[in-house]
Amino acid sequence: MTGFIFGLTLRQLVGRKSTLLLAALCCIPVLLAIVFRLSDPNVDNEEWVASLLVGLVVTIVLPLVTVLLGTSVLGDELEDGTAIYLMTKPLPRWQILLPKLAASWLVSVALVLPATVAAGLIGLEDGDSRRIVTGFAVALWFGALAYISVFVLLSLMTNRALIAGLIYVFVWEGAITSIFAGTRYLSIRHYTLGIAGAVADVAPSVFDPYVAATTAFVLMGSVTVTACWFANVRLRALEVREPH
């Protein structure tokens, strides 16, 4: 049954028009990298690629993709009442939750990762190190899972999950953490950057994340596990209304 739920959710997510729009969003870093290579500006390639991946992919593309997928993968079914067909099955709620999480995580990575790698490789020249691309590619897997877990939890707590998720992304991670450096320890974005920095292991002049590697791994793991646990508790407590 778990495999059936995973496959069904995967097909539902891939078949949405909104997923095509997210795919278009993910193409923007690639287009910018192509423009960069054609313009041949007098800047360091690694620094430019790091700025692109930090400023666009991790700051905008990854959060937007995951907030739209994470808040809808269960939230839409709960809102329209169709989730009752799953919730009334004699299944532990975690067997419903985990395949939903896994499917939305996989789709998120499938959208963001190829664009990230392509943009990074296009922006670099033959003699440049590829470690910066590898670092961000690895970090995106962890970052996407953490974001998805939190946004799925939000969808189980409020029917305004998308708004709450966007507030977290743009107000908390975008504005608050820029003003108050200490709040970056409460930011999935900065955990992702910390992991990217650890794997890439490039010079601080190229990329220097605020959150150290070990701290980033521990905090991201804690956030992911905690969000999944609370989501399961919340799902078990929910009463699903009949569809109209």
Q: Give 159's pLDDT tier (boundaries 50, 70, 90).
A: confident
Q: In whole numbers, what is the pLDDT of the chain averaged over residues?
A: 87
Coil, helix or strand at residue 148: helix
Coil, helix or strand at residue 233: helix
Q: What b/e readout covers 175-184, taking b as 16+ CB neighbours within 10 angstroms?
A: eebeeeeeeb
- On the question of pLDDT at 77 being above 70, the answer is no
Q: pLDDT for 168-218, tens place per residue?
A: 999 999 899 989 988 999 999 999 999 999 998 888 888 889 999 999 999
Q: Determine the residue type at 131.
A: R
Coil, helix or strand at residue 16: coil
Q: What angle do CA 11, 13, 15 make, to 5 degrees?
A: 65
Structure tokens at 99: 């395949």
- On the question of pLDDT at 241 being above 60, the answer is no
- On the question of pLDDT at 60 being above 80, the answer is yes
Structure tokens at 142: 């962890």
Task: Report the predicted TM-score, pTM, of the whole model to 2 decimal places.
Answer: 0.92
- On the question of pLDDT at 145 being above 60, the answer is yes
Please give the Cα distance from 83 to 146 (Å, whole number).
23
Pinpoint the alpha helices (H) of 124-212: 131-157, 161-166, 177-179, 188-200
CA-closest candidate to residue 60, choices 121, 15, 9, 112: 112
Q: Could you tell me if 104 and 70 are in contact, meaning their C-beta atoms sit under 8 angstroms apart? A: yes
Please give the Cα distance from 13 to 108 (Å, whole number).
10
Residue 124 exposure: Cα atoms within 13 Å on the Cβ side: 21
